[in-house]
Chain A
Amino acid sequence: MTDGIEQRINSLNKRLNSEKRFRIYCIGAMSFALAWVLILFLNIFSSGYSAFYRTVIQVDVPFLNLIEDTTQFTEMSSEDINNLSMYSFSKKAIYGLFPDIEEKKDKKMLIRLFSIEFEQEIREFLKSNKSNINETETIYLTASDDVDQVNKGNYPRELDEDKRRIKDIQLLFFDDLVDRGLVSYEFNLPFLMRGDSREPELAGVGGSIVGSLFTILVVLILSFPIGIFAAIYLEEFAPKNRVTDFIEININNLAAVPSIVFGLLGLGIILNTFGLPRSTPLVGGIVLSLMTLPTIIIATRASLRAVPPSIREGALAVGATKMQAVMHHVVPVAMPGALTGTIIGLAQALGETAPLLLIGMVAFVVDVPQTPLDASASLPVQVYLWSESAERGYVEKTSATIMMLLGFLILMNLAAVLIRRKFETKW
């Protein structure tokens, strides 16, 4: 008899234990998922934040060597300054950091501490300050990517010299400059303003931000009205017949089609049949609009459906036509929901990459695009492009681009949530 009880207690304990274990598995699974959100963000942020500042090196530029009297610059036009031959002058200014070095090889190494556009930077300085140039001016020149990475501590200095891009003598120069207090950081404004470049220290996301902006603008202009009109038709006016059913099936299927198929559509139809220009935000926007339309239509329909019938009937009862009832009374009430859906759709479009690769928005574009008809990249495509590059400087740049992309996405989703909270009426 006691055996029986013991057995039962045992089996109960077993069951309770397995209950506990199961619960732990569940918590473990959820923590696993949560942990990856954290790891992903930490990983991106820790490698990306350093791209937002850059290393500059102070150089004294003796403008007196260029011209007898520095007041003469005042009379020069920008074009005159562009015509000045400044290359060897600029180089000499840099040599002035280490007057003692004689060997040509060492001098070359010294020059390589700076970005290849040092001459251009001095010229720009001259242009913007031409009315009050002193005999000698202190200018902050952009350091080369290798120096930048060493300065930020991203570069393993302990490697053998022949495995490093930066050489021993350059490190020597660099350490000396640090000791003399000539190396400093500044906010990396060029990163936010410039287009792409083959030199990591000069590459910026400005071009791709503008490209993304144009693309999203095209998506907004196309998919917002079309999506809302389609939703209004399907929800309010469509007769129950085969055509309507067919449209609905199509919309639901399109929502599940892999994004790359839309890229094939863009390539086959929009580029090759209609002949619209390749690589442009216009085409990117059209392709992404087709992709986001189902999202917008489905969200808008849901919010139209949530409008209580009493509103429709009230309007009809006082003599409004069906169209007036819908447009004046139902749609305004459903608008917050439609807007939320649109913003979420736009956020999806903003992060989409694959279709853009196929329609050629992977071009290497140095200039910031001026119109939606200029070739350009977009933020996610920029991430893809830079992640393929070997230089170390692009890693932090890629992460920083992702940070900005995520930033935009978070802002958009936040806007969607706020709109929903503020304007949505509960019935």
Chain B
Amino acid sequence: MGFILISLIILIGIASYFLGNLRAKNLRTSNQKNLKSLSHYYGYYVALWAVVPALLILLMITSFKSFFIEQYVLSDFIALGSYTETELSLLFTQIENTALGIKLFDENTILINGAVNKLNYINKTSENLTYVTVLGLSGLLVLYSLFNINNKLNSRKIVEKFLLVLYFTCSLVAIMTTVGIIFSLLYETLRFFSQVPITDFLFGLNWSPQRVFVREAGDLDTRDLANAFGAVPLFAGTFLIALIAMCVSVPVGLLTAIYMSEYASPKVRDWAKPIIEILAGIPTVVYGFFAALTVAPLVRDIGQGAGLTVSSESALAAGFVMGIMIIPFISSLSDDVIKSVPQSLREGSYAMGATKRETIVKVLLPAALPGIVGSFLLAVSRAIGETMIVVMAAGLNAKLTANPLDAATTITTQIVVILIGDQEFDSPKTQSAFALGLTLFVVTLALNFIALQVVKKYTERYD
């Protein structure tokens, strides 16, 4: 229904553009008076009146419709007063399904039959009503705006004002997204911390939310809550895997950047740089698959060959693959930074008889250090927030370990494990995922902020 209606509105909009345009032209020739704007601006003016209010009304109707329908259909049940809100919404779903022809009730009582009939009736009526309201409004406004066209009306100003407001609203989406993120994370997190003390979450050593889930059928024991949401093993696992990733990506990324900016001929550069940047464009799920099916067994076999016990979900495998993924983040940022060190520093160093290595290590790197550190921090924030590799290749059970050959789990893994599939809302287990999300959000934001500050400081030095 929505699709047809929107298409109709757009058609009306296009038609009214031509109508407005035509009327403006006619006015101009018949009245011999000058209109204040070019005639097509009157077209836009009429089209805006035709489309915008209609779409807004449609949006309002669709967002409130279901609520009113539910109230209307359930009015008899509500009048009885013996149902709670959750029971009512369950009842409504059942009635909806019955209306679709799925038998759910053993015996159809008069009330339910009545409700089903009401639902069918209101669904049909509301659809017709929506069409009439929206199209009627659109048509009326077209007529109004057509007759509004006269030589006092400056439609260009109105249209431009509208566009400006539209543009501004679009740029507000960024703020709304941030607010949305903070609100959704904070709301659930606060509810979580009302049941589990924040200190337990931040300093507890045992993470086993499944236990709460199992217990949910019965009464929740506060002792269960107290000891199930200690996130330290997750922080440790995240840190361990990020550390392994950095151990791979920092030397490789930095040396690659040095080679690219100082040694490579332009030809090699032109080829190698895009190829390495492919690594950044590959979806993370591909790395996850690669880590789980190729690298993890390889690490395990090598480890076992050396007589070590290696988990098949070792932190080493996940961290290593993550490190490969991060290489381009470090290499291209550091490359830019090293290249932007003023040429005079290089030449000064060569003039003193330094070799290329000495120039790089003793002059360029110290000069570029803030920028390079900034790129490391961005890479760390990337590693901490990375999800798919660890979901597929790292462990799922939280265990406090510093052994890279052991299975470790991360914040992101646990968020996915908790929230994948059907979740019970209102349970501390689900809410704990949001608390983890908030932690992740805050940490990555802080890292990015620091990184940007560090880089900023650097650019100030040479300007």
Contacts and interface: CB of A to CB of B under 8 A. Distances in A.
Contact of A30 (B170, B183, B276, B355): B276
A405 B355 contact: no
Interface in A237-293: 237-238, 246-247, 250-254, 256-265, 267-269, 272-275, 290, 293
B263 A26 contact: yes
B304 to A, nearest CB: 19
> Which of A33, A380, A399 counts the most B-chain CB atoms under 10 A from its CB?
A33
Interface in B226-260: 251-256, 258-260
B184 A395 contact: no
A76 to B, nearest CB: 29
A142 interface: no
Contacts of B452: 252
A48 B26 CA distance: 66
A25 interface: yes
Contact of B385 (A260, A268, A269): A260
Contact of A256 (B258, B387, B445): B445
A87 interface: no
B437 A229 contact: no
B34 to A, nearest CB: 16
B140 to A, nearest CB: 27
B289 A33 contact: no
Interface string B377-401: 0100100111110011000000000
B292 interface: yes
A415 interface: no
Interface stretch (B100-108, B145-153, B171-179, B310-318): B171-179
Given A406-B282, A413-B281, A32 B167 contact: no
A150 to B, nearest CB: 20
A184 B445 CA distance: 57
A381 to B, nearest CB: 8
A323 B178 CA distance: 29
B455 to A, nearest CB: 12
A247 B175 contact: yes
Contacts of B381: 256, 258
B174 A33 contact: no
Contacts of A225: 170
Contact of A398 (B175, B289, B360): B289
Interface in A389-427: 395, 398-399, 402, 405-406, 409, 413
A29 B259 contact: yes
A409 B356 contact: no
Of the four ranges (under 10, 10 to 19, 20 to 34, 35 or more), the interface on chain B belongs to 35 or more
Contact of B419 (A32, A40, A267): A267
Nearest to A353: B285
A23 interface: yes
Contacts of B178: 250, 253-254
A61 B164 CA distance: 71
B156 A321 contact: yes
A40 B276 CA distance: 12
Contacts of A275: 66
Nearest to A321: B160
B293 interface: yes
Contacts, number: 248
A268 B294 CA distance: 36
B448 A253 contact: yes
B285 A30 contact: no
Contacts of B183: 268-269
B316 to A, nearest CB: 16
Interface in A23-38: 23, 25-30, 32-34, 36-37
Contacts of B434: 264, 268
A33 B170 contact: no
A198 interface: no
A36 B385 contact: no
A258 B255 contact: no
Given A30-B272, A34-B275, A256 B251 contact: no
B444 interface: yes
A16 interface: yes
Interface string A209-229: 000000000000000011101
B10 to A, nearest CB: 13
Interface in A277-324: 290, 293-294, 297, 321, 323
Contacts of B286: 40, 44, 351, 383, 402, 405-406
Nearest to B418: A358
B270 to A, nearest CB: 13
B282 A25 contact: no
A380 B285 CA distance: 6
Nearest to B173: A226
> Which of B260, B272, B324 counts the most A-chain CB atoms under 10 A from its CB?
B324
B240 to A, nearest CB: 18
B421 A387 contact: no
B276 A33 contact: yes
A257 B441 contact: yes
Given A238-B171, A261-B440, A290 B177 contact: yes
A120 interface: no
Given A33-B256, A237-B164, A261-B185, A358 B289 contact: no
Contacts of A409: 281-283
By Cβ-Cβ distance, the 9 closest A-B pairs, closest first, are: A258-B385, A351-B283, A268-B184, A29-B255, A233-B167, A26-B259, A229-B170, A354-B387, A230-B171
25 contacts: A18-B357, A26-B255, A26-B256, A29-B254, A37-B276, A237-B168, A247-B172, A253-B445, A253-B448, A260-B437, A264-B419, A265-B180, A267-B184, A268-B434, A293-B174, A297-B171, A297-B174, A323-B163, A347-B281, A354-B284, A354-B391, A357-B419, A384-B288, A384-B391, A406-B286
Given A246-B175, A258-B385, 19 more contacts: A34-B272, A229-B167, A233-B167, A237-B167, A253-B448, A265-B177, A269-B180, A323-B163, A351-B282, A357-B420, A358-B415, A358-B416, A380-B283, A383-B289, A384-B391, A384-B392, A387-B288, A399-B289, A402-B289
Interface of A: 15-16, 18-19, 22-23, 25-30, 32-34, 36-37, 40, 43-44, 225-227, 229-230, 232-234, 237-238, 246-247, 250-254, 256-265, 267-269, 272-275, 290, 293-294, 297, 321, 323, 327, 347, 350-354, 357-358, 360, 362, 380-381, 383-384, 387, 395, 398-399, 402, 405-406, 409, 413
